[in-house]
Amino acid sequence: MADKGHPTTMDRILQEITTVSHRIEGMDASITSLTLETKFMRSEITSFQSRVTGLEQRMGLVEAQATVSRDRDQDLLYLTSKLTDMEDMSRRDNIHLHGIPENEEGTDMQAFLSSTLPKLTSLDFDQPIEFQRAHRIGPKRSDNPSRPRPIIACLLRHNQTRQILQAARNHGPFQIDQHYIRITADYSKETNERRKAFLALRPRLRQLEMKYGLFDPARMWVTKN
């Protein structure tokens, strides 16, 4: 007969079975939780992969758009360059005269320039200088009447334009009475800005003892002594 104060072997076995059963139930709960977490992680991974795929597609679209944009920029630069060349070509027979006093030309600007330019440049022309047009630029300066407006003139013969500009580069500025006269070529705004940028380098080039110059209209050459 078993002692009522002490568990029998059967009781201990039942207790152990109960403990093991509880452990198994706890493990089942953990496995179920782990399974749920695994499903959640798989769902997150799938969502992340989907977002990565979407980003890759958008990046591909952006790269394609960037390529199109670069091509457009190159086309725009090319067209801008061609338009600048065409504008400079249309101005190649123009000259600017700076420093001729107001009203010096009287009532006939073309006749005045035809007689003045040979004396001013000391050039002997085979034919009389003729113009397509000639006039002063802009309204009169009421703020500074002593500063004359420049004159722009379009010559009829290109070889005479080249002769005058060459004389201006080699021997200018010229002088009428006590007035100094400069003669310059006529360029587009873009070309003038490029020429100014090149000319700003002259002090540094002189410091480096380098020879330099500008090819018409705006190409700089530099050589080391």
For 218, other C-beta atoms within 10 Å of its C-beta total 19
pLDDT averages per 10-residue partition of the chain, 225 residues: 61 72 69 74 78 79 78 79 85 94 92 94 92 91 79 95 93 85 91 83 81 72 73
Q: Which residues contact 116 (CB under 8 A, 6 or more apart)?
A: 176
- State the pLDDT at residue 156: 94
Which H or E run contains 182?
strand 179-185
Burial class (CB in 10 A: 0-12, 13-18, 19+), 214: middle
DSSP 32: H
- State the pLDDT at residue 84: 84
- State the pLDDT at residue 179: 87
How big is the CA angle at 176 (ends 174 and 177), to the nearest 5 degrees? 135
In order of 21, 25, 165, the CA distances from 162 in angstroms are 110, 105, 5
Entry pTM: 0.61
- State the pLDDT at residue 173: 87
In order of 13, 39, 58, 66, 151, the CA distances from 53 in angstroms are 58, 21, 9, 20, 66
